[in-house]
Amino acid sequence: MFEQFRKEICRHVDFKDKELELIENGLCLRKVPKKYKLVEEGKICREIYFVNKGLMRLLYDKEGDEITAFIFKENLFASSYSSFLEQSPSIQILESLEETELIVLPYDYLMFLYENLPKMHILIRIVAEQRFINSQKVLASHLLKTPEERYWEFQLLHKDLLKRVPLHIIASYLGITPVSLSRIRNRTHKN
Amino acid sequence: MFEQFRKEICRHVDFKDKELELIENGLCLRKVPKKYKLVEEGKICREIYFVNKGLMRLLYDKEGDEITAFIFKENLFASSYSSFLEQSPSIQILESLEETELIVLPYDYLMFLYENLPKMHILIRIVAEQRFINSQKVLASHLLKTPEERYWEFQLLHKDLLKRVPLHIIASYLGITPVSLSRIRNRTHKN
DNA sequence: CTAATTTCTTTACAATTGTTAAGGAATTAA
DNA sequence: TTAATTCCTTAACAATTGTAAAGAAATTAG
């Protein structure tokens, strides 16, 4: 049930069995269907999700248009993290792209762990740092590369997602329209 | 000497006087002139800097062109954070935009503090989380807004920087060319 | 299986940006 | 102060993207 989760967190912090038990006492497993919204716009995000199986995406609703901020694959911690950290209304939406199996860590239980298992600060510090590094990479890609180069890069790094995710979602992740992505793909395949 | 620094970190973590002393034992003050490079491309970033007075910027060298990733004002923790965290060669440059006064926290001393003052994990967790939130905001701005809207937003949030920083640096921060920024400013002022 | 919906591509046109080059303004250095 | 450098704007043109609309293909729902 928590095998992947254990493996992932123990890569970063050396938790003892008793400590793992303490952590897992507050967790639960949740299965959601495709297109299920875990966090809605305007609501406070009160949980962090570890993706056991499936795909999640974080997105903005821009006057009806969906703009993808990030796609979470297996073994990543997903959440509307800004909303979770500040316990403030989310400006992002978190939803599943496939039928997805999640491990749920509630905010209140994380606070409990912070007090009773100080190592938890280390773990969450590392999770935050990694999400920061990721965010920096995506931002750098926008600052340094053209949409076309960004598509090539995406192809290299996330070949699997090209098959799992509709192209218009990838387009919005790359910061372009589906029409433009279609043109880029057309150009690319011919050369 | 460390007043601002103390005030800032105590906003987040309740350090006792003795603990503050322990932290400050490993810090030093550094004054650098304008355009001084604290971190060079390819070198490992071995320090975190707290900006006491002045301005720093994080940038990429893209085939000779300078692309600004972030601008650090007073009371922020600046660094090539990815390089610092992973102690790997930096793909970013960190340099001063003005004569700048910094408080320097060396990597080795942070490791020492992690071991001898566990609360340090909390502080650095919060610093990482805030840099993440910032990074998310900048990325959202790129995904959701046009360059023109991004300039308006910048004007609102960082009016002071328009006077302190050359426009071509702001242009690269907004992800556009100086020529394009000039056109946007021209359009904006007329309407 | 059929109908409805979603997804993807293509086209034509408008709008914006990038590029290159040139000149003037402002700042910095000698 | 003068000379050199940096900074900013403008112009013209090419390239790219966005928008709107339409239709084909694929997927989903009943």
User: What percent of chain A clears pLDDT 70, i.e. is strictly above it?
Assistant: 98
In whole angstroms, C20 C1' to B124 CA is 47
**Which of A67, A86, A143 lies closest to B175 in CB terms?**
A143
Give contacts of B68 with chain A, Cβ < 8 Å.
Answer: 143
Strand pairing class (A93-96; B65-72): unpaired
Question: 3-class DSSP state for residue B149?
Answer: helix
Q: What are the boundaries of each domain within chain B?
A: 3-107
Q: What token pair was written down for A136?
A: 């920096």
Of B115, B111, B117, nearest to B21 by C-alpha is B117
**Is the per-residue pLDDT at B51 higher than 90?**
yes
Rg of chain A on CA atoms, in Å: 18
Six token digits for residue B17: 């006087």
pLDDT band at residue B189 using 50, 70 and 90 as cut-offs: low
User: Chain A closest CA to B154's CA: distance in Å?
Assistant: 16
B30 C-beta less than 7 Å away from strand D: no
Nearest C-alpha neighbor of A127 from the set A187, A52, A50, A32? A50
Strand, helix or coil for residue B18: helix
pLDDT at B138 over 50: yes
Q: How far apart are CA A7 and CA A75, in angstroms?
A: 9
A179 CB below 7 A from strand D atoms? yes
- Give the number of beta-carbon pairs within 8 Å between A and B: 82
User: Which chain B residues in 67-96 sit with Cβ < 7 A of strand C?
Assistant: none
Q: Is the CB of A167 under 7 A from strand C?
A: yes
3-state secondary structure B120-140: HHHHHHHHHHHHHHHHHHHHH
**CB hemisphere CA count around B5 (13 angstroms):** 22
Fold of B3-107: Jelly Rolls (2.60.120)
Mean pLDDT for each 10-residue chunk of chain A (191 residues)? 94 95 95 93 96 95 91 94 93 94 96 94 89 92 94 93 94 96 83 45
CB neighbour class for A41 (10 Å; exposed up to 12, middle 13-18, buried from 19): middle
Per residue, the 3-state secondary structure of B151-165, as one string, reads HHHHHHHCHHHHHHC
Question: Which region, left, alpha or beta, applies to residue B5 given φ > 0 means left and ψ of -120 to 50 means alpha?
Answer: alpha
Q: Which pLDDT does position A188 carry in this prediction?
A: 73
CATH of A3-117, one of 2.60.120.10, 2.102.10.10, 3.40.50.1980, 2.40.10.10: 2.60.120.10
Measured between CA atoms, the residue of chain B closest to residue A129 is B128
| pLDDT value of position B191 | 45
Q: Do B69 and A140 touch (CB under 8 A)?
A: yes
pLDDT of residue A92: 95
| Cα angle for residues A97, A99, A103 (degrees, 5° grid) | 100
Average pLDDT of the segment spanning B108-116: 96
Note the pLDDT tens digit of each residue in A121-155: 999 988 888 898 899 999 999 999 999 999 999 99
